[in-house]
Structure 1
């Protein structure tokens, strides 16, 4: 596909803007929002998690084979003359049988190359991404493509019973999120073995993995990280199916996987609802970046995500706050097709924020955090900030060298760091 044809395609699939792809950096984007040096490939895999409890079945106690679709982005080696670009297909709606929000297919352009050859050099850390309820594996493609361009392999899951196409009973999401995440981790580890015969053989450093979750994906990420459920949560689903995820349950402790080294939780659900109490939060020990809007009316802020971040005292915690933002701080911008239905549009958009701006900020902070946690790169300048961006002082000389008293957020251009807060709480005893 020529660049001319690609741009024509993008004009049909994206809103009118100066950006060819979701995630392209605005001129005021912070440093690490810039696309990395790697070309990006993308492939789809179909998985089956055998003999899993079907929590929605009647009568209870039945098991089934749980199908999962996974999208994988990775550093790629393009052929001479091969241009970036692919078309993703997703759906709008909130389940298969909602007449007010019918499943409406839509397409959008991405910078990845479908089925490209993986980069022959190096092994790359793994990032697993878990969407909201409902959502899809493509919901945050701006971030998945960005991370692949920066030297990560990213596996985004379509969680069965939890996508916009197949949304079903909430109990399935509550039980299966952490189980799906860990199953995909195991599957990628199998593929990554040097002699596996898979196209990812020898390409993934699974021992340095992270989990990114949005909303219910954030709930699942906290469980993978060790924050067990409260009795309130266990009582929420009849029959005790969530007991295996309860804090203090030896069966839950067996789920903890040392290959997961860090978490990123965008607007994680469960704090306001009492699903994580002090005992459960004490079990979270992984470095965690929380991201939230201070007007989040779904996950909650002071009684929700901030309470989770402050309460997980045994973890090294960062909290990025978008002032005047609600719950949709993580997804791609609204696709043009969503303009036909206000509820579909509001599932992606933020009333007080430009989505492209939020995407760039997320790219910057997620990259800084993962580079430090998974690659051992020193990104402390990007993660050691005055708490309120507006309080940062811009003091540089004519060559741009910081002077005494310069406290402006690192990586941000003058006058661009506004509307945000950033906090860091070290783990207890550190």
Structure 2
């Protein structure tokens, strides 16, 4: 039976912490930067007081949502259902026409707040009203652009990586950000259905098989999304923007592992990034057929560190590769939560560098990687440490 939640999930703080710790995630959101300048037309109300850093590229950003159903595949968590996904398409826009894209539905925001135990600091209306640069259904800018698939961390909504998706779109990429059903604290589907995290319940029962299953399943999800975006009858009306020969993927936490899982089974993905995710589904000894891969994480993900899966992945990667750490970051520094935390007044003191600096570093190295491997543009920042970015540590085990 499908488990849906009208806007309030069960009280499960202990479950949430257990799941987060098992996946290598910090259970609290992190510190963040001062409020950025809102997009043109954004309201200055309490419901819009959280604002993500503006993207730095030359283009305006549009966003549209897709509901995709893979009728050939049963859902791994609720087998009586077909596998369904929500996908946000971020793209270079011709103008900033259109209303600001909504960050989360109120139901999604409420479930996220309950999952993180931060109800004393922020309410669902404020979190849902977080402002970003994207405009809903803005007219696309003409051209053909590389496609980057994005997969979020376990329990996290696809829009918790909005700042990165918008940065890529502003620099001339199309981004497909995927929500994987039953793997986030709550995802709203058409008709108002909000699906809770069935996979979290299974993981909380200490079922060690869950995480490899999540990653491998997300690999199949990503390939299905590519089929629907690049096939003869694409699901997205602006699919003509996509250059089908230039496809990359980036993910955070289990979504980073899913990048590897996708590349194992899908040769269309030319380059991938794992941001601070354990390789529960490992890179095979045969490698990735020479394709580019970057591992970008905290200093806990360093050679000989507690997560030995990164050492093994490095050995097996057989193409262009980089292993980078960002000093002063925590697990959740690679998504939007640091920004949300500081602007909502949530204390943590986990990371010594500010979230605006973390945002800058993540954007710099992710966009440089895709510029190099999907556009053929040399980016020296990927070659060696620089005085401008002393927080970045290059590992060459």
- Structures share fold, TM-score greater than 0.5: yes
Deviation at 1:326, TM superposition (A): 2.7
Q: Any conservation in 2 of the 1:292–1:305 contact (CA below 8 Å)?
A: no
Deviation at 1:128, TM superposition (A): 0.4
> TM-score, normalization: structure 2?
0.73
Partner of 1:68: 85
Question: Are 2:296 and 1:291 aligned?
Answer: yes
Partner of 1:329: 333
Which of these two proteins has the greater Rg computed from alpha carbons?
1
Q: Could you list the runs of 5+ residues in structure 2 that have no partner in the other structure?
A: 1-37, 187-195, 204-209
Question: Are 2:258 and 1:225 aligned?
Answer: no
Partner of 1:185: 226
Q: Could you list the runs of 5+ residues in structure 1 that have no partner in the other structure?
A: 16-20, 25-33, 227-255, 387-407, 426-430
Deviation at 1:323, TM superposition (A): 2.1
Q: Any conservation in 2 of the 1:52–1:63 contact (CA below 8 Å)?
A: no
Aligned-residue CA RMSD in angstroms? Answer: 3.4
Change (3 A) 1:104 1:152: same
Secondary structure of the residue that 2:271 maps to in structure 1?
Answer: strand
Partner of 2:214: 173
Whole-Å separation in 1 of the counterparts to 2:351 and 2:39: 34
Question: Are 2:41 and 1:41 aligned?
Answer: no
Whole-Å separation in 1 of the counterparts to 2:299 and 2:88: 31
Change (3 A) 1:93 1:219: farther
Q: Any conservation in 2 of the 1:72–1:154 contact (CA below 8 Å)?
A: yes
Change (3 A) 1:151 1:350: farther
Q: Any conservation in 1 of the 2:216–2:262 contact (CA below 8 Å)?
A: no
Partner of 2:103: 88
Partner of 1:363: 363
Secondary structure of the residue that 1:202 maps to in structure 2?
Answer: helix
Whole-Å separation in 1 of the counterparts to 2:77 and 2:254: 18
Q: How many residues align?
A: 331
Structure with larger RCO (C-alpha < 8 A, sep 6+): 2
Whole-Å separation in 2 of the counterparts to 1:116 and 1:109: 16
Whole-Å separation in 2 of the counterparts to 1:69 and 1:423: 36
Q: Deviations over 1:264-313 (max 9, x none)?
A: 11012236xxx537xx243334211111101369xx94534641442224
Of 152-161 and 328-337, deviating more is 328-337
> TM-score, normalization: structure 1?
0.68
Q: Out of 47, 51, 59, which is 2:72 matched to?
A: 51
Matches within 5 A, 1:18-417: 21-24=51-54, 35-57=56-78, 62=79, 64-78=81-95, 82=97, 85-89=100-104, 91-92=108-109, 104=124, 106=127, 107-120=129-142, 122-165=143-186, 166-169=196-199, 170=203, 171=210, 173-190=214-231, 198-226=236-264, 256-270=265-279, 275-276=281-282, 280-285=284-289, 286-295=291-300, 301=305, 303-304=307-308, 306-332=310-336, 333-335=338-340, 350-379=350-379, 381-386=380-385, 408-409=386-387, 412=388, 417=389
Partner of 2:394: 422
